[in-house]
Structure 1
Amino acid sequence: MTIYGEVQENGPIHLEVAVVSAWDADDEAEGTNARLTYSIEKNVIDERTGQAIFMVEPDTGLVKTAICCLDRETTPEYHIQVVAVDGGGLKGSGTVVVRLADVNDNSPRLTRELWEAEVEETWGAGPPAGDTLLEVTADDRDTSNYFFYRVVEASGWGWDHFDIRTVGTYGELYAIRTLDYENPLHRRGFKFMVQVTDRGRGGWDDARHTDTAWVLIRLRDVNDNPPEFRRSSVHITVQEDTAPGTLLASMPAVDPDMEGRQRVEYRVVGGWGALSVEAGGSVRLWRALDREGEGGAEGVARVVGVDEGQPPLSSTATLSITVTDVNDCPPRLLPPTVLHVREGASAARLGVLTATDDDVWEMGHGPPFALALAASNPAHVLDLIALKFDASLDSGRGGAEVWALGPVDRERHRQLTAEVVVRDAGGLAASHPVTVVVDDVNDNPMRPAAKTVYLWKIQGGGSDASLGRVYVDDPDDWDLDDKSFAWAGSPHPLFSLNTSTGDIYASKLLREGRYELQFGVSDRVWGQEDVRANVTVGVRYLTHEALAHAVPITLTPTTPSALTMGWTPKRGGGGLGTLTQAVTKVLGEPTSTIEIVSVYGHPDTPYAPVSPAAAHPPTPPTTRLYRARMPACGWA
């Protein structure tokens, strides 16, 4: 057993370190066998005095220091062995690791007596950028230090041109005034002193916790005159449909260096990425503008002029642009555009459509809007859906009521999509889809049916598998709450049935073969009981090699039932067979090497919303399938 304790360095004698506690299984009320006594079996000896450094109270197990003034910088950690002996002479031992907590008892030391740096002169007459010119570092044997650096006031020529900031354990020297190589005094260089303390901002009064060193800074001449624009700020107004190539502004610049003969190169930043600048500073439009785009109607471009000096210097002029609107955005419908109608319901209002427009309404590029059904809608949509336009809706902006003209049979139309034409006050129009979901009702009786399920599993492995739902011939698809499911006869021991949902599960103990299952389905609305539904399950083993070559494919929009309709493992057919043939053609593989392992609905795919009253919405219209490459055989 190891116990950890901590004690502060340079502390007095008898500082508490840790408490060692042992336990004896003997009866404390009988004899002395359970009475424990603690002692130190292996102690640490102070080399200077020859004394033991630690002691333990024999009755309590409290470990304390036996001498004072332990130094963490000399020995940061001690290990002693403590023994507990019971009244019968039996003993147990443990290790106590004593760690010394640091105190700030050592002086900091700058790592150099003279710090030298050659730096570039600062640009222009304004304040410097504050870039780091020199990093000053210090050492300290303590760990609990709070270093702080400063420039010593009046310590030498140029001290007032610099300051030093503390960053962690080091100091960054930076200029606070312009450093100009063209000034003879500056060209001679700067020499002053910097100081460090390990006690933070208030530690300068204790000389034992400070250190000082010289700093020598020399300047290096640079190309320090950037180009100058004749106009630093220009504002223009352009129309949204301005043609690319149009000249927007002229913004030339000159460079004072080389008696004004130095050439200036230009580039433009911002302005929606729609501007270009020529050699003489002429700014042109190089692509069409979009006031309704992400950048909006107000834009700012920065025209940058760069000279040829080493290093090159640059300056910037600002071009602000206001884009005036043209009626180029067609109006669009506001949500909701997905409406619901109950199957078989009589004529009813389904909802109200309103519109908006991204153009500027004050310029006549918005409301009032006009809404109407597109003439291109299919005949059955025009027979079942009507739009009643009302100019007073939406505070006079115009809107339309959507009406169902009569009963709709979900078994014929799960949903209706009507194209609605929206026109703004300027005559610009666009067509938008409005979806009407037909909410299912249980209006069809069940008929007996059967289905075949193909299950592929790993030999000797895998887990229980879901085989889907018991199938009866029923056009309705939202009536699961009206149904109940039961075994027709005795349940099969390797399969289980959820009597509420009709889901079938296969045991992981299934072996390769064919299984015939019989079920009965009842519908409380129609009063039907035990309508026969048979399920055939074909089980085949899947090799590990086949799984290693499996590839997932996601298809949309479709469902597993639609994809597999008319398909069998041996004959193919249906949409899945067509997909298999297409993959075969792309890969150049024989048909027998492309096999379908599993097909299921993808749960993460969004689909059109359904009525809140529908407890069981349709399967999401996305299908995930796995393709496996296997040896040629007659099964997948």
Structure 2
Amino acid sequence: MGYIRGIMWNKLPTWQVFLWWHHFFLLWSTIDGQTRYSIPEELKQGSVVGNLAKDLGLVVSELYRRKLRITSDAGKQYFSVDLGKGELVVKDRIDREELCAQRPSCLLPLELVIDNPLQLHRVEIEILDTNDNSPSFLNKEKVVKIAELVNPGARFPLESAQDPDVGINSIRSYLISKNDHFKLTVKSHKDGRKIPELVLEKPLDREKLPVHNLILTAVDGGDPVRSGTSEITVVVLDINDNAPQFERQVYEANVSEKATPGTEVLHVKATDADEGLNGEIEYFFAEQTTDLILSLFDIEPSTGSVVVKGMLDHETNTLLRFDITAKDKGNPEMDGHCGVEIKIVDINDNTPEIIVTSLTTPVPEDSAIGTVIALISAKDPDSGDNGKVTLSVSPKSPFKLNPSVSNHYSLVTNGPLDREKNDRYSVKISATDSGKPPLTSEKIILVELLDVNDNPPVFSQPSYVVYVKENHAPGNILCSVSAIDPDAGDNAKISYSILDSKVQDVSVSSYVYINSDNGSIYSMHSFDYEKLKVFQIQVQAKDQGSPSLSSNATVHVFILDQNDNAPAVIYPSSAALGSLSHQRMPRSAKAGHLVTKVTAVDADSGHNAWISYKVSEATDASLFTVNLYTGEVRTKRAVSEQDDSSQRLLIEIKDDGEPVQSATVTVSILLEDGLHEPILDLRHKSMVEPSKKTGRITLYLILSLASVSLLSLVTFVILAVKCMRSSRSSGSCCMRRSDCDDYKNPNRNLQIQLNTDGPIKYVEVLGGDMLSQSQSFRSCMSPMSEYSDFTLIKPSSTTDFKEVISVLDASLPDSTWTFESQQVSTK
């Protein structure tokens, strides 16, 4: 990028405008890709330096949004930017002499920082000198003593004038007022200083003119020319015609800035050809020596040894110049002069300074690698290697430094960031110079991370199990689910909902609802274990980030059975013959004769469905008994002739629940002589001829036995195959059971029961426990029916059994087989 020198000539004379244009074309150059403007000092406030937007290729309309700002190492802001026009304007008075003293080049560096995206531009403002200072002498009056015997051509150094301006505006020449004995010459030092010297042209005659008054004028090269004067008084002295002479005109020495007071820097020496007091020499600082030199150094009058007096600082003054005068003790006294140059040697005594020019925080945690976080610069007032600074960042942080121009670095991301592991980073920047030993400074930059929705909610457990008693009140809380989200803010705010699904072809939302804020799940109504034993709820937790993230959990709801169903009698059926069951038996029956079998079912499960039978009331309690578990009514003894022909039994049926539920059935038994055949169904009694009864019963018995045998065989084969397949993993087994008294927990195993006791031939398939949706099927066949019946009955509907099974009365031998396998559940 080219340097642009902008010169302001508002209200300047024509010749100065021409001069600024001359500088403009001479100083157009390119250095390190930086922009430079040149302006004269003392410009009025508001003067335009240059158009930054145009020169840097920026869009003026975007300057305000991108927050263009200026930083300066000068400590004081001399410039500002008009964001509406993109112009760099003067903000405060600029005095070149105050900023740069007499350095030949005065550069004021500026840094322009622009955000979105982050950019850094280096701008240098060259402050051009104007002739705004007149030459001046430290002493307005000087007395020069010259012996009258001094030969023409003798030189007497005079005080140099000071002019803060530089270049052409500095001192150009000296003039001496017109006289007959002296002329003025100017001696140029190698450092560029011009020292006036008074040269004697004609011998002095003290008797004619003892004192000569002269005016010394210093003139600069500015336009208009500025000048300053000093009065020179020459006193003519007698005798002592030899002045001290130094061995060297200029003495040079180096001294460390860490030299302590009293350290000898150098030793000057002068000689005098005279004898006696006229040859004794004392050394002094010259009259024009500044207060700074007098505070830093001292000279031993008798030896000419220059020693350190104050604290030296290379960063403040790198080179100090002054003059020393050697005077004899003659009358009049004579003196000689020499110059001294002392270079202050730099010591690495300044630690580097870390400057954060721009910092962007907080930073999104998903920032790409290479994202600029901050612009950092370093400076060290030391010189040479002592001032060379290297920046580094702690190696364990996910950041690195990319070097830029002139000790500038950009702090960028160097790895993935994760706010959930570390929400902020304390980045330690170290600055180390190249001195020996090196000095180091540190600066901590706090970088905060901005959360991004990169974590879905996580449930406290993947699935929940809830047990709910049936018949509980609607609106009760079933359970509470909870999830956490490691993100922050809206990204961590969680709302809960139930995903739509079906439970028995009904939406799950009709069963339960959830509090979206805290995850509490409530029932919509009470549950019936006999209709619904278990169902699942899919709960979703979703955060409020953008885009939102979610996760699911499963809630298994198990309905616990309550003893809310009384046993239902399915045989003998009271629906067919009224409230009584009429049975007939021969008087020749012996002890243990099966009179009938009372069968009941309970829609509950587990202990609530365990049924027991007992005789509550009887015409003759000694004649009949009922099996506690099977409900078989048998004779306890042989029937005698003294027993009444009509016997009545009240059988009570109880479950094992809490509280106990019960039902009763009344059985009426007629004792008859010579009874050998079963009594026909009362519904068909009038329709069947006596001659056909025996044939029909035999046919029904054969068909029933054949059907039951075939079904039993098929069932046995299926169970055997299943046992063989699953024996390795489940350990299932098949066994034969002949004792019906062991049938105490029908809901724990799958049972297939063939029962031919009494007039009903049936196969029972029982199974399942309280946590499964098991089914119990029963095949009922009536040998007394006119048609062959084969009916599957679900135990959950007791009224079905009452409607299907007919009341039959028969006396057949028992034959019961039970096949068991592992539990069969339908979920």
Same fold (TM > 0.5): no
Q: Please identify the structure whose Cα radius of gyration is greater.
A: 2
With a CA cutoff of 8 Å and minimum separation of 6, indicate the structure with the bigger relative contact order.
1
TM-score (norm. length: structure 2): 0.23
